[in-house]
Amino acid sequence: MEQYKSTYGLVGYPVQHSLSPLMHNAAFQELGVDAVYKLFPLQEGELEPFFSDLKKDGSPIFGLNVTVPYKEKVLVYMDSLSPFAEKVGAVNTVVVSAKRQLTGHNTDGPGFLTHLTELGFNTAGKRVSILGAGGAARAIVTVLCLVPERPEAVLIYDIDHHKAEALVQDLGQRFDTRLIKVVHSLDDLNLEISDLLINATPIGMKISDPCLLEGFQVSRDMLVYDLIYNPAETRLLKWAKEQGAKTSNGLGMLFYQGVLAFQHWADVQLDKAVKDKMWASLKTGLKS
């Protein structure tokens, strides 16, 4: 029989820029596990045969991450979903059992919340404003609606407000979304009374990208969280910092969604030494 390493990996397109291999291979190395995390850049037509092979005995793959643009498209290949992934309607982590059954999880929302908690932000009674209504916003909005520390309000602005309305309507079929309001202009986000502003758009990734909120004011007590982590300080974060607001980029979210995914695959809690190696690998990866 052909010898192989237990394999994990990231399915998406494109995936070449991903830091996930660094983070997960660092964890395997620290744990002394003979496994490897690879990139699987797949075109849409390759998804079906890939997942069909995954279910066959003899496949070396025991766990996956899923990224843009397939987080919703892979739902049909799952044999079961975690309650949270079912609510979000998207999967970013797949666990493959010994019997080749696939369970879909979503660690984006919990990863974001874990980082928010680490930053000392408690969502109870808070007013949250979100820019963007795509895949990442979907996971974040879901976690904000389900968390026991319920925010007072969640306002969403997307350049395409129909998209934001469709998102809320879709989520509303699975849980109570009454605290969410779609706004049609940046003015209506009422930033001066907001406690948390989240950028869930890709605007800021390119050096030439504008600050979406130039000319607006934020309060000094506000936390401005940009999901983007490369560059480490987007124009939005610079703008917020200049006004005295607290800021964070999305590296912590990336880290915690990865830690939670690994814990699903291994079915163990990772200790501090392993997590430290994962975090250090992300920092190194961003520098190079």
Residues that bind ligand NAP (CB under 6 A): 68, 108, 131-137, 157-160, 163, 200-203, 205, 212, 227-229, 250, 253-254, 257
Shortest distance, position 252 Cβ to ligand NAP, whole Å: 8
Q: In the complex with ligand NAP, which residue's Cβ is closer, 78 or 203?
A: 203
Q: In the complex with ligand NAP, which residue's Cβ is closer, 54 or 236?
A: 236
Q: In the complex with ligand NAP, which residue's Cβ is closer, 40 or 225?
A: 225
Q: In the complex with ligand NAP, which residue's Cβ is closer, 85 or 137?
A: 137
Shortest distance, position 71 Cβ to ligand NAP, whole Å: 8
Q: Count other Cβ atoms within 10 Å, centred on residue 277.
A: 18
Catalytic residue check, 287: no
Across the beta sheet with 80-81, the strand order is: 35-41, 6-12, 61-66, 93-96, 102-105, 80-81
Q: And the tokens for 6?
A: 């237990």
Shortest distance, position 164 Cβ to ligand NAP, whole Å: 8
Shortest distance, position 142 Cβ to ligand NAP, whole Å: 13
Q: And the tokens for 257?
A: 């969604």
Q: In the complex with ligand NAP, which residue's Cβ is closer, 129 or 177?
A: 129
71, 87, 126, 277: the catalytic one is: 71
Say if CB 107 and CB 115 are below 8 A apart.
no
Shortest distance, position 269 Cβ to ligand NAP, whole Å: 20
- The HSE-up count of residue 64 (CA atoms within 13 Å, CB side) is 31
Rg from Cα positions in the chain: 19
Distance separating the N- and C-terminal Cα atoms of the chain: 39
What is d(CA 83, CA 96) in angstroms, rounded to the nearest whole number?
Answer: 17
Say if CB 127 and CB 104 are below 8 A apart.
no
Q: In the complex with ligand NAP, which residue's Cβ is closer, 38 or 163?
A: 163
Those residues whose C-beta lies under 8 Å from the C-beta of residue 273, and which sit 6 or more positions away, are 30
Say if CB 80 and CB 104 are below 8 A apart.
yes
Instruction: Supply angle C-alpha 170, 175, 177, rounded to 5.
Output: 75
Parallel, antiparallel, or unpaired: how do β-strands 196-199 and 223-226 relate? parallel
Parallel, antiparallel, or unpaired: how do β-strands 246-248 and 223-226 relate? parallel
Residue nearest to ligand NAP (CB): 134
What is d(CA 99, CA 255) in angstroms, rounded to the nearest whole number?
Answer: 29
Say if CB 126 and CB 184 are below 8 A apart.
no
Shortest distance, position 112 Cβ to ligand NAP, whole Å: 7
Catalytic residues: 71
